[in-house]
Amino acid sequence: MAQTLNLTITADVLTPAELSAAEARCWAAAQAATDHAYAPYSHFHVGAALLLDDGSLAWNTNQENAAYPSGLCAERTLLFGLNGQRPVRAVKLMAVAARPQNGEFVAVTSCGACRQVMIEFENQQGAAIPLLLPGPDGTIWRFKRLADLLPFQFMPDVLPPRS
């Protein structure tokens, strides 16, 4: 008989008041970053932020272009940029926020391409990075690790060795 594979993805559903002080800083940084999105085509502003182990914050935003596919999501702009500047660091937490250009914050989940990049970033550092995402009705979803967002991600260990 055919077997069935069942997956469970778990996240805490929090109110803003339930965030720790460190989580609240990272959350606020992601929200504040949305002011600096370059999104003249979608008018959808996304901010992503990281809390590093020295207590500092890093953030970035989505960057668009008239040649649409040339743009990049906030999450990847942030992670690629940090990797290029500070390849040796420990990231303790990630947060994402989004809103229409002139509107209120909305619930959002990172796109598939970003999830793949987020997981490789987490694997590169070798330690879990919890993630805060805006859930419905002003709630905050807290995942224990970036990998929880994307089951069945592509893993580089299937790539053939260089000859």
Could you tell me which of 87, 34, 24, 84 has the C-alpha nearest to residue 57?
24
Distance of CA 70 to the CA centre of its chain: 19
Does position 110 bind ligand THU by CB under 6 A? yes
Name the residue nearer to ligand THU (CB basis): 19 or 46: 46
Q: Is 18 a catalytic residue?
A: no
**Is residue 114 a contact point for ligand THU (CB under 6 A)?**
yes
Residue 135 in contact with ligand THU, rule: CB under 6 A? no
Question: From the CB of 71, what's the least distance to ligand THU, in Å?
Answer: 5
Neighbouring residues of 154: CB distance < 8 A, sequence distance ≥ 6? 116
Q: Which of 71, 81, 100, 135 binds ligand THU (CB under 6 A)?
A: 71
**Contact at 8 Å (CB) between 45 and 51?**
no
Task: State whether the Cα torsion 108-113-114-118 is positive or negative.
Answer: positive
State in angstroms the smallest separation of the CB of 121 from ligand THU.
14
Phi/psi for 26 (5° steps) reads -65, -40
Whichever of 31 and 110 has its CB closer to ligand THU, that residue is: 110
Residue 100 interacts with ligand THU (CB under 6 A): yes or no: no
Q: Which is nearer to ligand THU, 93 or 94 (CB)?
A: 94
Is 62 one of the binding residues for ligand THU (CB under 6 A)?
Answer: yes
Give the ranges where the chain is alpha helix by DSSP (H).
21-33, 74-85, 112-125
Number of amino acids touching ligand THU (CB under 6 A) = 13
Distance CA 27, CA 73 (A): 17
Residues forming the site for ligand THU (CB under 6 A)? 39, 42, 44, 46, 62, 64, 71, 73-75, 110-111, 114
